[in-house]
Amino acid sequence: MFGTVLTHEVKRIARSVDAVYGDSDQQRYVLGSCTPSSKKLNQLQLLDANLSVLQTYAHANPVQHLAMCPLPKMAHHVLTTFVSERNEPSFAVWDMDNVESPPSTSPGAVSQLGLLAHVTTESAIVRAIWNPTEDGNSATIASLNATSISTWTLADGGSGKEVAKLGLGEGHNQLNAIAWDPHHRQQVSATVDESIVTWDVRSGKYVAFHRVWCVKYNRFHDQLVLSSSSDSSVNLWRVSSISSAPLLDESTDAGGIDIGDAKISTHDGDHEDSVYAVAWGSQDSWVYVSLSYDGRVVLNTVPSTEKYRILL
């Protein structure tokens, strides 16, 4: 698998992709289109490990962002961010049945999503994500607007309750991307200006400061972080300083060479347009996909040298 590059053309404008989690050993990805024209209906596409389309689902509004639920018991739930028909900033939770073993369908067939929750806000939502750690039977969601992050719990009946609001105050530019640390339930990160900022949800204060469209932690190895940007590049980072399992003493390897925070690799030739979304594989922790605005999906792998450095 190392060194393999696969592609898939959506033939629609698209800016969000994520991996399907759960107990299945079959790798799946879901991407969402955001075509503004009514001539092409927006949809979610379920892809297999080779980026072949397994199932297509209708989505009435352009999908600004989507996130598959990382909790095993809710692996068939997808969270989408969009503007409703009433022009209300919204995020919604949908049921995608049979994502792990989709039924055979005829080419061009479109399935329907089951609406589980719908929340509207006053400010435009850039994206919304799940908290990847379990807390009883409740699911926590974080939504990002231009200046702040809100955390939510979903109540019975499909409504949402805002729990906390995080921000940097005045003097900063727009927040663009958000990620929840899979090993620290109370830490959430976002990109602002040319930095990545991490907050403690409980105190509301930021604990780390590291222009980016998307950022994703590796759920198995949280020292690995992906970022993508408007210059069509995808970057793979090693961020040992805030990892739950830092490499060695966080600063030196056996030979005394600094192996702290660093950029591992840059993909600046795979895409020709802005790269709006990246996603780690849920079954293979060493693969990841990226999606550019023109609908091009690219699959890449973590360099073997970095993989063995983490494992050994």
Query: Per residue in 132-169, pLDDT tens?
Result: 876 656 678 999 998 888 999 887 667 788 888 887 66
User: Per-residue b/e over 18-43, b at no fewer than 16 CB within 10 Å?
Assistant: bbbbbeeeebbbbbbbbbeeeeeebb
CA distances from 75 to 20, 174, 195, 305 (A): 7, 31, 31, 31
What does the pLDDT read at residue 249? 47
**Residue 79 resides in a domain:** yes
- Per the CB < 8 A criterion, the answer to whether 27 and 281 are in contact is yes
What does the pLDDT read at residue 109? 86
**Residue 185 resides in a domain:** no
**Residue 148 resides in a domain:** no
Give the dihedral sign, CA 284/285/287/288. positive
What does the pLDDT read at residue 86? 92
What does the pLDDT read at residue 141? 92
pLDDT < 70 stretches in the chain: 1-3, 23, 100-101, 105-107, 134-138, 156-157, 168-173, 193-195, 207-211, 245-260
**Residue 82 resides in a domain:** yes
pTM metric for this prediction: 0.73
**Residue 128 resides in a domain:** no
What does the pLDDT read at residue 72? 82
Tokens of residue 133, six digits: 């750690």
**Residue 284 resides in a domain:** no
What does the pLDDT read at residue 303? 93
**Residue 84 resides in a domain:** yes
What does the pLDDT read at residue 64? 94
Q: What is the DSSP letter of 74?
A: G
Give me the residue label for tokens 């024209």: 37
What's the distance, CA 234 to chain centroid?
14
Q: How many domains does the chain have?
A: 1
Question: E strand or H helix at 114, and its extent?
Answer: strand 114-120
Residue 122 burial by Cβ neighbours in a 10 Å radius (0-12, 13-18, 19+)? exposed
- Dist. CA 15–CA 153, nearest whole Å: 26
What does the pLDDT read at residue 2? 55
**Residue 199 resides in a domain:** no
Helix (H, G, I), strand (E, B) or coil at 73: helix
What does the pLDDT read at residue 257? 46
What are the beta bridge partners of residue 195? 192
Domain range enclosing 109: 8-120
